[in-house]
Amino acid sequence: MSTPSAGLAGIIAGETAISSVGKEGMGLNYRGYSINALAEHATFEEVAYLLTRGKLPTQQEFTAYQKKLLSLRSLPDSLKTLLELMSASSNPMDILRTGCSFLGTVEPETHEHTQLDVCDRLIALFPAMLCYWYRFHKDGVRIETQLSNESLASYFLEMLHGNTPEALLRQVINVSLVLYAEHEFNASTFAARVTTSTGSDFYSAICSAIGTLRGPLHGGANEAAMELIERFKTPEEAEEGVLEMLAHKELVMGFGHRVYRTSDPRSDVIKNWAKLLADSVGDTNLFSIAERIDQVMQREKHLFPNLDFYSALAYHFCNVPTLMFTPLFVFSRTAGWAAHIIEQRELGKLIRPVAEYTGPSSRPYVPLEKRS
């Protein structure tokens, strides 16, 4: 039997043809395509097609796919009612998890409504779910979700803010969606695969993934990173504060990675976009605070920023509320989750690892009345 590993660190739990994370000198790639090339040249919709269909689309395929996604943006009336009933103080991740589960009851997966149909519907509808709930409770309006924006990035920003987003903001959100779309056997993806392996339905697997992503040690790290950055007023105060956190052995979110050892290949990409946004909005302090935290962590702990750290800053400059940072992760990672659900179904094997028992040795049963 293999040696136990806390958190399954370093354990190969299966095979996948969907992405490679830092193996064999390839860096991060989606189905063989470098993340850097995809982030620079591709739209999120191209990447979603690549992950769920196994190849980059031709122009004809891409046009048809865009048209399909655009047609799937209308919220069912029953789901609108549910979103209006959910509390304004709800965690947005709970909104998406509950909305996904409910959608599975009104649009269940069938032979006619296939796994790809469910996947496309969720990719198209998650931004609508979140923004409809948010704007109803924040502004008292029932927004129209059947908009004609071609990109998910533009679509989300227009529903969130109620106006046509600037080109730079659209670009940044698109890049972030590409970067977050897939990452091998991360916690939420593995949760989706475990659920899928039991023969359960597509919606249940996605709900498992969302529930897993909700945790601060996974998707919630970007929100914690923003809260950290905003805690300080100057770079000097940030350095002092982070050093104090380290002295007290507090966890500094947004740094290090369970798989990468020297750097996160996605971090520099989003950092550059965050800097462009900072310059665009005239920020003279927040980006410098983030960089100082980054410098302190690398100097003191030899820890590098992961994707979450500068993504938080980029989302902030796009005027996305902090509690929506992880839901944006959901919008993107749904494509990756779907690819893994499909792959796990093709494998057709139940995931059931074993555990090494560390409890008491064999003990005799003592009747209740004789226990002291």
Total-model pTM:
0.93
Q: What is the per-residue pLDDT for 46?
A: 98
Mean of the per-residue pLDDT values of the chain: 94
- Per residue in 158-200, pLDDT (tens digit) is 999 999 999 999 999 999 999 999 999 999 999 999 999 999 9
Q: Which two tokens stand for residue 352?
A: 């059931």
Q: Is the pLDDT score of 299 beyond 60?
A: yes
Instruction: Check whether 345 has a pLDDT greater than 50.
Output: yes
Q: What is the pLDDT of residue 216?
A: 85
**Tokens at residue 327, please?**
């839901």
Percent of all residues in the chain with a pLDDT value above 70, rounded to a whole number: 95
Structure-token match 């003191």, residue found:
300
SS3 354: coil
Tell me the C-alpha distance between 45 and 56, whole Å: 10
pLDDT at position 290, please? 97
pLDDT of residue 9: 65
CA distance 122 to 128: 10
Confidence of residue 3 (pLDDT cuts 50, 70, 90): low
Q: Which of 331, 338, 313 is nearest to 95 (CA)?
A: 331
Annotation: CATH topology of 221-317: Cytochrome p450-Terp; domain 2 (1.10.230)
Mean pLDDT of 131-157: 97
With left for phi above 0 and alpha for psi between -120 and 50, is residue 11 left, alpha or beta? beta
CA–CA gap between residue 37 and residue 15 (Å, rounded): 24
Asked if 165 contacts 182 with a C-beta cutoff of 8 angstroms, the reply is no
Please compute the mean of the pLDDT values over residues 276-298 and round it to a whole number. 96
Domain with CATH 1.10.580.10 in the chain: 18-215+323-347
Confidence of residue 25 (pLDDT cuts 50, 70, 90): very low
* Helix, strand, or coil (residue 129): helix
The pLDDT tens digits of the residues spanning 5-20 come to 666 666 676 899 999 9
Residue range 268-282: average pLDDT?
96
Distance CA 88, CA 84 (A): 9
Sequence length of the chain is: 372
Tokens of 267: 């971090």
At the topology level, CATH places domain 18-215+323-347 in: Citrate Synthase; domain 1 (1.10.580)
Average pLDDT over residues 51-72: 98
Question: Cβ of 360: how many Cβ atoms within 10 Å?
Answer: 6
The conformation of residue 22, written as its DSSP 8-state character, comes to S
Backbone angles phi, psi at 330, to 5 degrees: -60, -45
Tracing tokens 């924006």 back to the chain, one arrives at 149
Angle between helices 325-347 and 92-106 (to 10 degrees): 40
Known catalytic residues are 218, 257, 308
What are the residues facing 29 on neighbouring strands? Answer: 20, 34
User: Is residue 256 very low, low, confident or very high in pLDDT (cuts 50, 70, 90)?
Assistant: confident
DSSP 8-state class, residue 255: B
Per-residue pLDDT, averaged over 74-90, amounts to: 98
Do the strands 28-30 and 33-34 form a parallel or antiparallel pair, or are they unpaired?
A: antiparallel
Using CA atoms, how far apart are residues 75 and 332, in angstroms rounded to an integer? 19
Task: Please report the pLDDT score of residue 61 as a whole number.
Answer: 98
Q: How far apart are CA 369 and CA 185, in angstroms?
A: 50
Given this model, what pLDDT does residue 260 score? 75
Question: Where in the chain are all domains bearing CATH 1.10.230.10?
Answer: 221-317
- Asked if the model's pLDDT at residue 26 lies above 80, the reply is no
Helix runs in 86-201, H state only: 92-106, 115-139, 152-161, 167-180, 187-197
pLDDT tier at 366 (50, 70, 90 boundaries)?
Answer: very high
Tell me which residue has tokens 């590409």: 178
Query: What gap in Å lies between CA 295 and CA 302, rounded to an integer?
Result: 9
Assess whether pLDDT exceeds 70 at residue 24: no
Strands 28-30 and 19-21, how do they pair?
A: antiparallel
pLDDT (mean) for 97-110: 98
Which of 120-129, 248-257, 310-319, 325-334 has the lowest average pLDDT?
A: 248-257
Instruction: Read off the pLDDT of each residue in 106-119 and give the average, rounded to a whole number.
Output: 97
Binned at pLDDT 50, 70 and 90, residue 354 comes out as confident
